[in-house]
Structure 1
């Protein structure tokens, strides 16, 4: 039969234990690490002292050439390098934009639409030279519009948009059969020029690389803001693909992870999907590892603002916040 112990009995059992623990209130006698001054010290002052000690240790590591531990490199910046001297005023060709379709075509130009139509027709011929299916630039524009509209008017499946509960705008733009044929055949790059999967230089985004490059080129036409942020977004998908990631804290947990350079206005200045295994580092670029090189490419875009060349001061595993400056931060020695 179990018996409930009183507090005094529990204290006696603990006092008689042989584990060497001491439960006395007078911890300054038995605890060699007890420091009464530290207990009553100001918290901010203690934190400042700890950070100062860490900085001194890092400087000693960097100064000692015989030390096998990789040095922690700190970026030393002058005041003029932190002062914002950029120009945030919009160019004239953006100021004259009025209609939403004009803004869309400014970022997604008709030349890109023509490229998609040509690559799709090329793929059809490569797949089956006798296949009569062909698409025009207008077909691609309608396809983009239908897909965009379906993302706003959400129904259980694609055929539902052509049912009684569907949207007349979608039904009038394109027949369901034509949409399904275009979905199966649409392409954005020439498959015959793609590298084999065993090649170490393979680009996993090759099939949509022309789209990414063109979008980033057009996004770059918009002047950068002073305060920028690199964060990740999820493009949700149910497709089976090795690049699909699981992020439990996102609204859509399964999808493609995309690093985005954006400003406080919410505008995306550059995007780069996270592809996993390949870790291609360009000339004069720091190799910070696969998980960090992706965000770094967004920060160092060649437009003369802060390029991150060392992960000692800024953690690339979370959100990167940088301040747009006219002069780039110098690389570590």
Structure 2
């Protein structure tokens, strides 16, 4: 017999993907405000709380960036069972993103293609929204990016603007270098470019830590479309530069796993089940280079509890989900958290 989410999904999937996205978030906020969510998802004891980067995570399962771009649904998402929520990507100035349509479901592959283009209300609005969250007791991350019209040579200025604004309210800050939907952004993953950017951000992090009396960990988010020499080079940059953590991976430009699908030719990043193996391979490669010296948040194609376990066993300390959450609903969160609890790592 279908559960409540299956019934809701059957209705939402009749709508345009982006319309369904916004309607779902609005519905979650209303359900939280009316206390319906607390009745449907009563608070439970923390499952396998873990400390990573000096932060206490109620469980190892988080929400990847991209779902709650504005940071206005944190309490509701936390109620569903996420141990941490990463908002954004947020840029210094508000941005409308790319022309619509820009979000596509590949249902039979349990996958999504998006070319959203960092549509968001700007860092100041994101900070204000996070300050309004009341009930969530987990970890909140800010995923930050540059505005589309900011040239790469000035990208660090955009990241620094976001870092300064988010620092007082963020538990960690993730630097998005790897979205395929902002022209030229992935060039910042080059060895020299990432080294220069990291140097500037770390210097500012040190200054902000003194100003605010706390250290907010700084992470970079990388693409799955990296070859082994690139992984080795970036790992060296991250270790030498003092990065606090890595998020692996973002969406992929590859289309082989969905070849033949009518939407396979859509521009943008592919996420979901087709990314499972590739993201795990990248996690394993970086973990091998790091040798335990740098924590990894594993994300990409987690569609069941075993996928989450595989990411941890490949070298991740935490995991994030997004696409499969859209297809399967809240039960996936608790399934993954429970499975990771049994690892006791």
The bucket for the TM-score relative to the shorter chain is under 0.3
State the TM-score, normalizing by the size of structure 2: 0.23
State the TM-score, normalizing by the size of structure 1: 0.23
Higher radius of gyration, 1 or 2: 1
